[in-house]
A and B are shown apart, each in its own frame.
Chain A
């Protein structure tokens, strides 16, 4: 099952977990699985039109899925998706 690694600001919506294992053949399926399991996460990731918010960046390995096939990017069971949010503290 692919692993989704989450940053601190979003961990409170998944019971404090650093990473979650979610079934899916594509990044989009994994993300859909995430918000199904943890509905409170949805507004942080998707806008009201159901599109991934532009400040949410998903990477497989070191590559942004925007530079692959977006949410249709295939993800292998052993792969890790990294979610990089916009943070502003200084």
Chain B
């Protein structure tokens, strides 16, 4: 039996009630529904706001981060006065302000193989708004194993993707992407950047699909992948088919329970530093400052993209973007001491690997990147 709507709720949802595809019964279905949103960042922000506004009765939020000033260019559920606050708390308070007639449950913890089943079991639909491959494969496998729809959205710079993966009726995420890319091949939004409005578009599509699934109306994105290019304002759809050889939803599944997704994706786990290298191969900002002061020659190699130099730079540094390093190594003198740096130490760790495997020996990378230099040595320099 569907829950009744109060007079206040009828007034609040009147524009929904006027649509025959929703009506009173549809709005009651939304009230009876429960949705788990994984991540309260770029995608999670519009998803959570629209689901709250639409009157989804119970919404779960999973995140373990705090609001940072660099989030606010796109994570519109948070605000300037919430910097430093737990993201789930910040999001919950905004959602309840928007709609006090809903319930918002928060999980301030990393979403992992250890807790995912327990958290997700109690929800009808899972919305994947995470920012990493490990949690995306976890979210997919969880939904396949529990028989729940996984409303997928993903973004990078100007590109967006959205789909509904429901292995009961169509393909799953692994059918399209059987394996994750090696970690160094795909930069994260923190390293590569993201157009601020992009998650708004993709997140709104994820919210649309979620609401349609609950109402049972229209044609969901099951078996279709939406490709959005914000730069050229194009929407393309491609057909997705179930892969009979899929390792989790195929004819002979090999994955029958949740696995170690950090290992699967070849990335360090929660709390472990990305871009970590052997101790001897890194130099801290303070050590580099001392080294430069000593006057001995050292080549500073900046592997950031050229447009990042307008934000911050180190005098005398040679700019050779990571993507061009393998082809332009001959420009570097292997007999000279080299210190590589980037924004935060992730790209420089990759550059270090490339140079070491090419036979360079006197090479280290700046731990924490130029941002660490700005924080520790030169406060006039901005952190980005």
A28-42 CB contacts (< 8 Å) to partner B? 39-40
Q: How far is the CB of B41 from chain A (nearest CB, A)?
A: 6
Partner pick for B156 among A8, A12, A40, A44, CB 8 A cutoff: A8
Partner pick for A39 among B157, B188, B227, B327, CB 8 A cutoff: B327
Q: Which candidate, B27-35, B172-180, B294-302, is the interface stretch facing chain A?
A: B172-180
Residue pair B238, A62 in contact (C-beta under 8 Å)? yes
Partner pick for A82 among B129, B188, B238, CB 8 A cutoff: B238
19 residue pairs A–B, Cβ–Cβ below 8 Å:
A7-B156, A8-B156, A8-B231, A9-B159, A9-B186, A9-B192, A53-B179, A57-B177, A59-B238, A64-B239, A64-B241, A85-B181, A86-B181, A87-B156, A87-B186, A88-B186, A89-B155, A90-B131, A90-B154
Residue pair B161, A87 in contact (C-beta under 8 Å)? yes
Please give 15 more A-B residue pairs, beta carbons under 8 A apart, in addition to A55-B178, A88-B132: A9-B186, A12-B323, A18-B231, A55-B181, A57-B176, A67-B239, A85-B186, A86-B177, A86-B181, A86-B186, A87-B156, A88-B130, A89-B156, A90-B39, A90-B132
A44-89 CB contacts (< 8 Å) to partner B? 44, 53-55, 57, 59, 62-64, 66-67, 82, 84-89
Interface residues on A, range: 20 to 34
Residue pair A86, B133 in contact (C-beta under 8 Å)? yes
Interface 0/1 of B136-148, CB less than 8 Å to A? 1000000000000
Beyond A9-B192, A13-B323, A62-B238, whether A90 also contacts B155 by CB under 8 A is yes
Partner pick for A8 among B131, B132, B159, CB 8 A cutoff: B159
Task: Say yes or no: is B368 at the interface (Cβ < 8 Å to chain A).
Answer: no
Partner pick for A67 among B188, B199, B236, B241, CB 8 A cutoff: B241
Q: How far is the CB of A87 from chain B (nearest CB, A)?
A: 4
Interface size on B, residues (CB 8 A): 52
Residue pair A44, B43 in contact (C-beta under 8 Å)? no
How far, in angstroms, from A89 to B71 measured CA to CA in the complex? Answer: 13
Chain A contact residues: helix, strand, loop or mixed: mixed
Interface 0/1 of A1-32, CB less than 8 Å to B? 00000011100110000100000000000000
How far, in angstroms, from A44 to B323 measured CA to CA in the complex? Answer: 11
Beyond A9-B159, A53-B181, whether A88 also contacts B133 by CB under 8 A is yes
How far, in angstroms, from A66 to B133 measured CA to CA in the complex? Answer: 22
Beyond A59-B238, A82-B238, whether A89 also contacts B131 by CB under 8 A is yes
Residue pair A9, B187 in contact (C-beta under 8 Å)? yes
B305-338 CB contacts (< 8 Å) to partner A? 305, 321, 323-324, 326-327
